[in-house]
Structure 1
Amino acid sequence: AQMVNYRSHAKDSGFTGDIPPTFFRKASGSVSGPHDTIIRPAHVKFLDYEVELGLVMGATLPVGTVVEEQDLPRYVAGLVLTNDVSARDVQLTKTQFYESKSYPTFTPTGPYLALLEPEDFTHLLNLRLRLSVNGVSRQDRTLADMIVRPAQALTLLARFQTLAPGDLLLTGTPGGTALKAPPKAAEKIGALLPPALKWKAFFKGQAKNPKYLRNGDLITATIATPDGRIDLGEQRTPIADAS
């Protein structure tokens, strides 16, 4: 998966200037169906959503491959709608992306795998990502907001690993997630505190944020072009606390 890959998300996260392309892994066991319930582990208090476009590989991408825009049909079989569900309290306090994004049900995927024709790839930037919670819009951007686009992302990944047919790459989320960077003044004060006190103060403030996911919430997510040429369907995923 790609980290901080939309300009709007970078702004929400407090990043300024150039952002180095960064990747992280999610456990395959986190993948769930497009209408399956997302289970919030008992120790997770700040559960967040991230609608993302998934690229599904159709051919082996060897280490060292340089992928140009016109090469995408050679390596990418199709697209899928995904949600990179995140336990923010685990992610931030442990600086641990793998654990915070890999619990079972934390990668709803589908409902469709859209197999693309070569001419479809010229329409990727028109894809619009939308996510709402309980009918209230939270995220709404097109791929034009993306920082590192698919061909460049595959080239960067191929510097250090081979991708195989069926591999799934999540390409980042636009702005609008529940998590927001604190104001600059608060951030400077927090930097002076011991880590335990800093995170205690930060999450005390986050506890007042009503946008984090709670038991009984319903997430609806879609990705499609305005003309319907590419339509990845709709996810409807309820939230439930672990019993």
Structure 2
Amino acid sequence: MFRPPHVRLLDYEVELGLVLGADLPLNTAVTPTTLPNYVAGLVIADDISARDVQLPKGQFYESKSYPTFTPVGPRLVLLDASEFTHMNRLRLRLWVNDVLRQDRTVADMIVQPARALTLLARFQTMTAGDLLLTGTPGGTALKAPPKPVEIAAALLPPAVKWRVFLGRQAKNPAYLQHGDVIAAGIATDGHEIDLGTQRTAVEHR
């Protein structure tokens, strides 16, 4: 995975990817019971993010869309309807250079998979074969500032606020560096479902 030369704050986000097996029409309400009607399989995704692009611009598309970003795999695991009962016990983990950074289960998600599809269907149709990433647990390099700092920063002109914030973030050693190796895995603790381990090396161009 290549870091563009202008990006300094490169972050990781392990995410569970849902691969649709059927069309999801507009305004579809998906429940855990009906989830197997729409989802065929699961994959690991790492939603690589250029934070110094994302935050000042207030949008996500560019910051997550550079070539080689969002590696997916190593395998697509197709599920039987009965296997969806294990979904909440899937554990998302991510390591950087063998140091564990993220470790949470689907049950810990604020928005779980069925709810995520329902919310998306309010304004977007999806078709069989589409891939939806469902969010990342805590543990990313990016950390929100303390609330008093956040309130004070809101009083600053935007250009000043972001210059100060990005300057502080640049001192954070948790952001990805040249030569780092990311490992991401998603599986239940009993391996009823195991999506394998994705390994990605970081290179600076």
State TM-score, norm by structure 1: 0.82
Tell me the residue number matched to 1:205. 168
User: Which residue, out of 109, 112, 121, partners 1:149?
Assistant: 112
The answer on 1:111 being equivalent to 2:81 is no
Aligned counterpart, 2:204:
241
Q: Which amino acid aligns with 2:21?
A: G
1:79 partnered with 2:27 = no
Map residues 87-98 of structure 1 onto 2, 5 A cutoff.
Answer: 87-98=50-61
- C-alpha displacement at 1:153, in angstroms? 1.5
SS in 1 for 2:15: strand
Q: Deviations over 1:151-171 (max 9, x none)?
A: 122122112221101100000
Distance (whole Å) between structure 2 residues aligned to residue 221 and residue 232 of structure 1:
10
The DSSP-based 3-state class of the residue aligned with 1:129 is: strand
Structure 1 residue 189: Cα displacement? 2.1
Kindly provide the amino acid, as one letter, of the partner of residue 174 in structure 1. Answer: P
RMSD of equivalent CA atoms:
0.9
For 1:119 and 1:51, locate their aligned partners in 2 and report how far apart those are by CA, in whole Å: 25
Q: Quote the residue 1:128 is aligned against.
A: 91
Gaps of 5+ in 1: 1-37
Decide which of 145, 166, 188 is 1:225's aligned counterpart.
188
Q: Distance in 2 between matches of 1:141 and 1:64?
A: 30
Specify the alignment match of 1:56 in structure 2. 19
Which stretch of structure 1 is more off in the superposition, 66-75 or 131-140? 66-75
Q: Report how far residue 185 of structure 1 moved.
A: 2.4
Counterpart for residue 44 of structure 1: 7
Point out where structure 2 has 5 or more consecutive residues left out of the alignment.
Answer: none
Distance 2:116 2:165 in 1: 32
Work out which of the residue numbers 60, 64, 79 in structure 2 matches 1:101: 64
Q: Displacement, 1:64?
A: 2.2
For each residue in 1:183-206, what CA deviation from the matched residue of structure 2 results, as whole angstroms up to 9, or x when unmatched?
222222211211111111111111
Which position in structure 2 is the counterpart of 1:10?
A: none
Partner amino acid, structure 2, of 1:143: V
Q: Once structures 1 and 2 are overlaid, which stretch shifts more, 150-159 or 52-61? A: 150-159
Q: Secondary structure at the match of 2:184?
A: strand
Task: State which of 138, 143, 165 in structure 2 corresponds to 1:180.
Answer: 143
3-state secondary structure, aligned to 1:180:
coil
Cα distance in 2, alignment partners of residues 149 and 190 from structure 1: 32
